[in-house]
Structure 1
Amino acid sequence: MLFNIEHDLGREIIGYLVPDGFTGRATIRVTRRGDELLTKQTDSLRESLVHAGRHETGLCGFTIDDGEIPGLAEITDLEIRDAESDVIIYRRYNPEAIVRQKIFRLETHLLPLSRIDRAVQPRFQFYFPSIDRFGLETTHQMFLMNNTDSVYASGRVSYRSVEYYLDQGYTSVAMVQEPFEELAERVLLLRLIGENRAGILGLRDSVTFETVKSFASGLPLDSDRALSRAFRDMDPEVANMLTDPVTRQLTTRLPDEVLKPSSIGQALSVLSGFRIVGVRHRAELFADALVDALSLHTGEVPVVEPIPAARELGARLREMPSVERLLEHDIAVFHFLSEAFEKSLIES
């Protein structure tokens, strides 16, 4: 999906929205504070899309004017969305309330820290949470919004897949969880998902993690010995899905790429370029740092503390060699990250 607003002239808004399909036409939905003002299909020709082989007919442009929406020029909180995906492709805003920065929060948790995203949403003109639920073309388009300096995006994507776009004026932030506790949280989450395939994870990840979900559902959590044995004897496909998720996310493009000893240094190098890197067990410090970076009000960013059940299970998994082998690189990355974090606290 490609999209952009070419002009907002007050009484007239002109843009385009290219659907994922080659032949169909997209539908836009115009809203104000959740109330629908207009729904229409794209109907203006963009010949360049035909020449580029991106769309069969090129009927991907649209124009909205005050004949369709009376008083259009005075509607300061108008939003335009793709009707199918509900992605915001344009939003008017109050210049006095907006943060003029481009922020990307790399999501390192399988259970997304959505409360943080929702809290800052009103402060940005463009807001793209959970971008990992979309294809690469749509994701890249989200980073390429022109004529704006107010964008917030978040998602559990491969850093290498978006690195080029982040270099175009984005500030990156992340919060990392202790590896055993993150694994525990993933196991508990996958046990709870059940048949709600497109719920918390989204349809794509629900399919991707299907075998892991079956493994997690069958884990004997009431016995440390049996639990350790289950991890020791797990299917290689499941093991691959659970191995060093953060190091893989920071250093590889594909989930099945083999990590090397140098991957630890590469992961730390990536994180060194982030403006804010927090640790989940000190979530309040991450929240405070984000408030300061965005010049928000105290308490505006919520403190998302570790889940007690995940901390408890993580402590048990930490004693199991079969689990430690799965997280070898992530353990090292988190060790050096924690050392740097504690040093910064002492110096401050």
Structure 2
Amino acid sequence: MLFNLEYDREDIIEGYLIPDGFSNEPVVKVTLDDGSSFLQPCDQMRQAALDAGRHATGLVGFRLDASNTPDLAAQSGLSVRDADTGLLIYRRPGARKTLDMKLFRLELRMIPAIKLDKQCGHKFQYAMSAAERFGNETTLQMFHLNAINSIYVSGRLPLRGYEEFLDKGFHFVGSIPEPYYEMASRLFILKRLSREPVTFISDRDQIFLQPAARHFAEVNLQDEGAVRRALKRADGKVRNVLVSPVTRQLVCSDPEQQVTRRDIAAAIDAVSRFTTVGYDNDVGHFHQAIGELLDIPPVELPITPRYAFLEEMAERLRTMQIAETMLEEDLIFDYYVRQAVAPEPATLTEASS
């Protein structure tokens, strides 16, 4: 799906929405300041979409003006979304004071920091969290919104596919999870996924995770021996979910790509280019840096809670050789990150040299 705002002249707004389906007729949902909304067909010709073979008719443009939105100029907080998926295409800032900044928060945890995204996203004109819910082309379009200078995107995305935007005006931030606690989180989610869909996991990821979910469906996660045996019996598809997921996300473009020790330096080099990096639940430095960057008092930034049962599971995993082997690259990467965020740290760049 491709989309963009072409211009907003107060009494006229024009943009386009090219749907995934070649012959689908796109429709946008326009929401006004009073909360009311209406559907507007994309009935404006975009010859480039037709010539490029992206759409059967080229009727993918939308236009808002006095004919369909009589008081358009007065709608300071108007928003435009894809009527089918709810994807935000454009919104006016309204009464909010938005930041003239483009920021990407890389989500490295399986359990997302939803409340943090909500608090931070409110400071931007365009904001989208959990961007991994959408296809790669759609997500890339969020970074290419050239008519908007206030953009916040977060998601559990493979960094390699978006690293180019570090040189295109985006600030990157992220917090590195502790490896054993993250493995415990993933096992818990896999167990839950074996019984029911998990709302914060994208449909595409749920398909990728299903083999691992089936593998752990009958495993008692409180039984250390049962967990150890299940980890040892894991086949390639199950291991892909658990083997050094942070390093993999930082250096691989394919979730099934294998990582080796040689990838650790590349992972360290990647995060050394971030505006700020946090570590696990040691949120003081990270929240202070994010607060200063976004002009938000750090005390107003929500802290993702730590769960006692996951802490206990992580402690049991620390005693298992098989878990250590699976997390080998992440554990080495974790060591350098902890050194870098310690008091008077060496920089991540120095650690990678």
Q: Same fold (TM over 0.5)?
A: yes
Q: CA deviation at 1:343?
A: 3.4
Which whole-Å CA distance do the structure 2 matches of 1:63 and 1:96 have between them? Answer: 25
Aligned pairs for 1:263-342 (under 5 A) are 263-342=263-342
Compared CA separation, residues 217 and 285, structure 1 to 2 (3 A):
farther
Aligned pairs for 1:27-38 (under 5 A) are 27-32=27-32, 35-38=35-38
Task: Please say if 1:209 is aligned against 2:209.
Answer: yes
Give the match for residue 67 of structure 2.
Answer: 67
Deviations 1:130-180 (A, max 9, x none): 111111110110000012221000111110111123421000000111101
The number of aligned residues is 347
Which whole-Å CA distance do the structure 2 matches of 1:37 and 1:221 have between them? Answer: 47
Unaligned runs of 5+ in 1: none
Q: 1:3 touches 1:15 (CA, 8 Å); kept in 2?
A: yes
Give the match for residue 98 of structure 2.
Answer: 98
Give the match for residue 180 of structure 1.
Answer: 180
Structure 1 letter corresponding to 2:290? L
Q: 1:283 touches 1:304 (CA, 8 Å); kept in 2?
A: no
Compared CA separation, residues 180 and 64, structure 1 to 2 (3 A):
same
Q: CA deviation at 1:257?
A: 1.7
Aligned pairs for 1:142-291 (under 5 A) are 142-197=142-197, 199-291=199-291
Q: CA deviation at 1:194?
A: 4.6
Compared CA separation, residues 33 and 339, structure 1 to 2 (3 A):
farther
Q: CA deviation at 1:126?
A: 0.6
Structure 2 letter corresponding to 1:56? A
Structure 1 letter corresponding to 2:306? P
Compared CA separation, residues 50 and 99, structure 1 to 2 (3 A):
same
Per mean C-alpha deviation after superposition, the further-off stretch among 13-22 and 94-103 is 94-103
Which whole-Å CA distance do the structure 2 matches of 1:64 and 1:210 have between them? Answer: 43
Q: 1:105 touches 1:155 (CA, 8 Å); kept in 2?
A: yes
**TM-score normalised by structure 1 residue count:** 0.95
Per mean C-alpha deviation after superposition, the further-off stretch among 265-274 and 248-257 is 248-257
The two structures, once aligned, show a CA RMSD in angstroms of: 1.9
Which whole-Å CA distance do the structure 1 matches of 2:193 and 2:283 have between them? Answer: 25
Which whole-Å CA distance do the structure 1 matches of 2:59 and 2:322 have between them? Answer: 56
Which whole-Å CA distance do the structure 2 matches of 1:212 and 1:296 have between them? Answer: 39
Which whole-Å CA distance do the structure 2 matches of 1:275 and 1:207 have between them? Answer: 33
SS at match of 2:154: strand
SS at match of 1:77: coil
Which whole-Å CA distance do the structure 2 matches of 1:33 and 1:209 have between them? Answer: 40
Task: State percent identity of aligned pairs.
Answer: 33
Which whole-Å CA distance do the structure 2 matches of 1:305 and 1:272 have between them? Answer: 26
Structure 1 letter corresponding to 2:257? E
Unaligned runs of 5+ in 2: 348-353
Which whole-Å CA distance do the structure 2 matches of 1:101 and 1:263 have between them? Answer: 31
Q: CA deviation at 1:235?
A: 2.2
Q: 1:280 touches 1:306 (CA, 8 Å); kept in 2?
A: no
Give the match for residue 121 of structure 2.
Answer: 121
Q: 1:130 touches 1:154 (CA, 8 Å); kept in 2?
A: yes
Structure 2 letter corresponding to 1:216? F
SS at match of 2:39: strand
